[in-house]
A and B are shown apart, each in its own frame.
Chain A
Amino acid sequence: MNSIPTAVSIRAVAKHFGQFVAIREMSFDIADNEFFTLLGPSGCGKTTLLRIIAGFENTTSGTVLLFNEELKNLPPNQRPVNTVFQNYALFPHMSVANNIGFGLHMLGWSRKDIDDRVDQMVKTVRLEEFINRKPAQLSGGQQQRVALARAMAPKPKVLLLDEPLSALDLKLRQQMRAELKALQKETGITFIFVTHDQEEALTMSDRIAVMSAGEVQQIGSPSEVYEQPASRFVAEFIGDTNLLDASVVSAQSNQHNQVDVKLDSGECIPATAASPHALENGARGHLSIRPEHITLNALSTTNDLAGTIRNTTYLGTDTQYEIKLDSGVNLFTRTQNSGNQQHNFSIGNKVNVSFAPNSARFLSH
Chain B
Amino acid sequence: MFTGNNNRTYNPRRYPGFLFITLVCLLILYAPLLVVMGYSFNDNLSITKWSGFSLRWYTDVFTGPEAAKFKKAAWNSLSIALSAALVATSFATAAAIGMVRGGAFNGKTLSFGLISIPIMVPEIVTAVAMLIFFSMIGLKLGYLSILIAHIVFCIPFAYLPISARLQGIEASFEEAAQDLYADRWKAFRYVLMPLMLPGMLSGFLLAFIISLDDFIITNFIKGAGVETLPTAIFGAVKQGIKPNIMALSTLMLLFSVLLVSLSYFIGRTDKEKNDAN
Contact = CB atoms under 8 A, between A and B. Distances in A.
Interface of A: 54-56, 75-78, 81-83, 85-87, 89-93, 102-103, 106-107, 135-137, 150-151, 154
13 contacts: A54-B179, A56-B178, A81-B179, A87-B172, A91-B173, A91-B177, A91-B191, A93-B194, A103-B180, A106-B177, A106-B186, A136-B276, A154-B180
Contact of B175 (A76, A93, A106): A76
Nearest to B193: A93
Contact of B178 (A77, A87, A107): A77
Contacts of B273: 136
A150 B180 contact: yes
Contacts of B274: 92
Contact of B179 (A82, A86, A92, A135): A82
B183 A77 contact: yes
A83 B181 contact: no
Contacts, number: 71
A98 to B, nearest CB: 9
What band does the interface of chain B fall in when counting residues whose beta carbon is under 8 Å from A? 20 to 34
Given A56-B175, A77-B182, 18 more contacts: A76-B175, A76-B179, A77-B183, A86-B172, A87-B170, A89-B175, A91-B190, A92-B195, A92-B274, A102-B177, A102-B180, A102-B190, A103-B179, A106-B181, A136-B276, A150-B176, A151-B180, A154-B181
A92 B277 contact: yes
B102 to A, nearest CB: 15
Interface string B181-212: 11100110011001100000000000000000
Given A106-B180, A150-B180, A89 B173 contact: yes
B227 to A, nearest CB: 43
A78 B277 CA distance: 31
Interface string B6-38: 000000000000000000000000000000000
A135 B195 CA distance: 14
A154 B182 CA distance: 12
A55 B174 CA distance: 13
A37 B134 CA distance: 65
Interface string B266-277: 000000011011
A156 B275 CA distance: 34
Contacts of B191: 91
A278 to B, nearest CB: 44
By Cβ-Cβ distance, the 3 closest A-B pairs, closest first, are A103-B180, A89-B172, A89-B176
B190 to A, nearest CB: 7
Contacts of A55: 178-179
A85 B176 contact: yes
Interface of B: 170, 172-173, 175-183, 186-187, 190-191, 194-195, 273-274, 276-277
A135 B183 CA distance: 23
A83 B176 contact: yes
Contacts of B194: 93
B132 to A, nearest CB: 44
A77 B188 CA distance: 13
Contact of B277 (A54, A75, A136): A136
Contacts of B183: 75, 77
A78 B178 CA distance: 9
A78 B184 CA distance: 12
Of B181, B274, B276, most A-chain CB atoms within 10 Å: B181
A93 B179 contact: no
B19 to A, nearest CB: 38
A33 to B, nearest CB: 21
Contact of A91 (B176, B179, B277): B176
B30 to A, nearest CB: 38
A191 B178 CA distance: 19
A78 to B, nearest CB: 8
Contacts of A56: 175, 178
Contacts of A150: 176, 180
B180 A85 contact: no
A86 B187 CA distance: 19
Q: Which of B172, B179, B191, B273 has the most CB of A within 10 A?
A: B179
Contacts of A82: 179-180
Contacts of A85: 172, 175-176
A60 to B, nearest CB: 15
Contacts of A77: 178-183, 187
Nearest to B169: A92
B105 to A, nearest CB: 13
A83 B195 CA distance: 21
A299 B173 CA distance: 64
B106 to A, nearest CB: 13
Contacts of B277: 92, 135-136
A137 B277 CA distance: 8
A55 B276 CA distance: 32
Contacts of A107: 181
B180 A93 contact: no
B270 to A, nearest CB: 11
B90 to A, nearest CB: 21
A238 to B, nearest CB: 29
Contacts of A89: 170, 172-173, 175-176
A106 B177 CA distance: 9
Contacts of A102: 177, 180, 182, 190
Nearest to A83: B179
A204 to B, nearest CB: 22
Contacts of B190: 91, 102
Contacts of B276: 136-137
B178 A76 contact: yes
A102 B173 CA distance: 12
Nearest to B273: A136
